Amino acid sequence: MRRNGKSSTLLIVGVLCTLLVGSMAYVYTAPMFERVPPTISMEADIEWNLKEPIFATIKDNSGLRSFKATLRDGENSVVLDTKVFSVPQETVDLNLSFPKTGFGAGKKVFELSIEAQDASRWNFFEGNRAVVKSILKVDTKRPELAIINSSYKIMKGGVASVIFKAHDEAMKSLYIETSFGKKFYPTPFYKEGYYIALVAWPTQVNSFSASVVAQDRAGNVSRSNIPYFLQDRKYRLSTIALQDTFLDGKIADLIAEMAPERSTLSRLEKFKFVNETMREGNEAAILKATSVVPTSLIHEFTFKPFYPLRNGKVVASFGDHRFYEYDKQPVSESHHLGLDLASNAQAPMQTSNDGVVVFARENGIYGNNIIINHGLGVYSLYGHCSSYMVKEGDVVKAGDSIAKTGVTGLALGDHLHFGMYVQGVDVRPEEWMDAVWLKESIFSVIDAAKKTIDR
């Protein structure tokens, strides 16, 4: 009998132990007993202008039960937001605004703490708790911004300069904002706190305006309009009848060489592919190569007029808007983004200014293509070259021969396609070939700005 009682006791103890282990295993593995505290996403150091809300995000897999956001000024505190959820929330986004009660008047530094508790049954049904704190530095002063000097005018398709002063100890971004969405970025100039930039008005944009915009880390913004006189210019519209000899010759050859997978297209489909799809890719490569702007301080920007091809004759103008027809039916269109110059076959071309070769390779409709960086966001482009005399990375000097003219790419006759770019925007090459324009629009602006800065 004693043995049976002892066996029963051991059996009961074993069952209880099994139940205890099972219960513990359940507690450790069941979702309702998860032990991961909520995650609170908020920057550790925040500069605040008191106008824009502070954003924070709280997440928890088991769901949030409650949160509280508290602002402290070192002496007093105020609750900015608090909530207890009847239904646990997996994600909560907070937009915290400064209280309108006169709290913390005159204080420049605050502490923001966010406390969150989840709906887990862990910790004796109290759940998991997380607290994150941030230091808020109040900055309500806008960046200092003033236009020092600028070009008097800008022509549609052309370029203008601007020199300005901008200062903020917490400067976040500085750029020239245009009416057509393009941002031009400045280069530090002459003395600390001063900047220079060239801006461009594309031929395909009807109206133009530009403003310098400075924003600090607290979100304070200063904006100053650049007072350019706008000079409109009409660019040529031309209708070109496509010939079978051209479609079955140059276009077919380009397809066979650069896009053989398109060889089954019809002759007009091939032309549209070359004139639109291939062109778009080629111009994207040019945009990438011509968009880099120097960030180191410069004291001067000297430039000579460009004469890339000795005795070159203009055979096609910049900015032409071309409409292509076949059997008097519209097929496609394009804009000519350079100046075509021709002299003798395989004539040598030179760069008129110092620079660095940033692009020297085949580029679709542009054929063998060279691009040179001359600083301040200014680039010169040479297309349809028959051969290269430079490679990417080469430093070139004014007067150096860089290539010879040719018929590579979408060129019917031997010539040079010469282009000028400012921060990725194609601009009138004629301006950069004009000593008077260079002096009035850039050099005189720089000289006058230096005198103002030195006062």
> pLDDT tens digits for 352-376?
999 999 999 999 999 999 999 999 9
Q: What is the mean pLDDT of residues 4-10?
A: 64
Q: What does the pLDDT look like over 206-248, one tens digit per residue?
A: 999 999 999 999 999 999 999 999 999 999 999 999 999 999 9
Pick the CATH number of 36-138 from 3.20.20.70, 2.60.40.2550, 3.90.1300.10, 1.10.1740.10: 2.60.40.2550
Q: Which of 72-76, 105-109, 123-127, 156-160 has the lowest mean pLDDT?
A: 123-127
Q: What confidence category does residue 127 fall into, taking pLDDT thresholds of 50, 70 and 90?
A: confident
Say which residue, 12 or 312, is predicted with more confidence: 312
Q: What confidence category does residue 61 fall into, taking pLDDT thresholds of 50, 70 and 90?
A: confident
144-233: same fold as 36-138?
A: yes
Q: What is the mean pLDDT of residues 263-281?
A: 96
Between the CA atoms of 263, 264, 267 and 269, what dihedral angle is there, to the nearest 10 degrees? -100
% of the chain exceeding 70 in pLDDT: 92
pLDDT for residue 121 is more than 90: no
Q: What does the pLDDT look like over 174-206, one tens digit per residue?
A: 999 999 999 999 999 999 999 999 999 999 999
Q: Does domain 144-233 have CATH number 1.10.10.10?
A: no
Q: What confidence category does residue 27 fall into, taking pLDDT thresholds of 50, 70 and 90?
A: very low
CATH of domain 237-423: 2.70.70.10
Ordered by start, the domain boundaries in the chain are 36-138, 144-233, 237-423
pLDDT computed for residue 22 by the predictor: 52
Q: Which of 34-43, 192-201, 220-229, 406-415 has the lowest mean pLDDT?
A: 34-43
Q: What confidence category does residue 443 fall into, taking pLDDT thresholds of 50, 70 and 90?
A: very high
pLDDT for residue 17 is more than 70: no
Q: What is the mean pLDDT of residues 400-413?
A: 96
Q: How far apart are CA 162 and CA 151, in angstroms?
A: 6
pLDDT computed for residue 26 by the predictor: 45
pTM: 0.87
Q: What is the mean pLDDT of residues 381-399?
A: 97
pLDDT for residue 441 is more than 80: yes
